[in-house]
Amino acid sequence: MTGLIAALRDALGEGGVLTGDDAVPWSRDWTGQYRWTPLCVVRPRNTAEVSEVLRLCHAAGQPVVPVSGNTGLSGGTSGAGAVMLSMGRMNRIREVRAEARLAVVEAGVILSSLHDAAEAQGLMFPLTFGARGSAMVGGFLGTNAGGSNVLRYGNTRDLVLGVEVVLADGRVMNLMSELHKDNSGLNLRHLVIGAEGTLGVITAAVLKLVPKPAAYATAMVAVPSLDAALGLLNDLQRATGGAVEAFEYMPRTYLDAYRARFPDTRPPFDTDYETTVLVEVGATAPRDAAPDAEGRVPVAVHLEQVLAERLEAGAVLDAVVAQNDTQRGEMWARREAAGEVCLTRQPMVNNDVAVPLDKVSVFLDRAGARLARLDPGAVPVVVAHLGDGNVHYAVWPTCDDAALADAIMEAVEDEVLALGGSFSAEHGIGLTKRPSMARRKDRVALEAMRAVKAALDPKGILNPGKVFPG
CATH of segment(s) 2-89: 3.30.43.10
Q: Tell the burial category of 13 from Cβ atoms under 10 Å away from its Cβ (0-12, 13-18, 19+).
A: exposed
Q: pLDDT by residue (tens digit) across 431-447? A: 999 999 999 999 999 99
- Number of residues that this document lists for the chain: 470
Q: What is the pLDDT of residue 2?
A: 83
pLDDT at 296 exceeding the cut of 90: no
CATH fold for the domain made of 345-427: Alpha-Beta Plaits (3.30.70)
pLDDT digits (tens, 9 = 90+) for 224-238: 999 999 999 999 999
Distance in angstroms (rounded) separating the CA atoms of residues 73 and 432: 8
**What distance in Å separates the CA atoms of residue 103 and residue 251, rounded to the nearest whole number?**
37
pLDDT tens readout for residues 114-138: 999 999 999 999 999 999 999 999 9
- Same CATH topology for 215-334 and 345-427: the answer is yes
364: nearest Cα among 193, 249, 216, 443: 249
Q: What CATH number does the domain located at 215-334 have?
A: 3.30.70.2190
pLDDT, average across residues 401-416: 96
pLDDT recorded at residue 295 = 79
CB 425 within 8 A of CB 417: no
Q: Looking at domain 93-211, which CATH architecture does it have?
A: 2-Layer Sandwich (3.30)
Contact (CB, 8 A) for 254 and 338: yes
pLDDT of residue 435: 94
Alpha-carbon span 407 to 379, nearest angstrom = 15
Pair type for strands 215-222 and 64-67: unpaired
Inter-residue contact 221 to 175 (CB < 8 Å): no
Q: b/e for 256-269, b at 16 or more Cβ within 10 A? A: ebbbeeeeeeeebb
Q: What is the pLDDT of residues 312-331, one digit of tens each?
A: 999 999 999 999 999 999 99
DSSP 28-82: B-TTSS-B---SEEE--SSHHHHHHHHHHHHHHT--EEEESS---SS-TT--TTS
- Rounded to whole angstroms, what are the CA distances from 120 to 100, 125, 180, 211, 237? 15, 11, 24, 12, 29
Give the N- to C-terminal CA distance of the chain in Å, as an integer: 26
Do 144 and 425 meet the contact criterion of CB atoms below 8 Å apart?
no
| Domain segments of the chain as ranges | 2-89, 93-211, 215-334, 345-427
Kindly report each contact of residues 355-358 with a partner whose C-beta sits within 8 Å and lies 24 or more positions away, as own/partner.
355/389, 355/391, 355/416, 355/419, 355/420, 355/421, 356/389, 356/419, 356/420, 356/421, 357/230, 357/386, 357/387, 357/388, 357/389, 358/227, 358/230
pTM of this structure: 0.95
- Which pLDDT score, from 0 to 100, does residue 291 have? 87
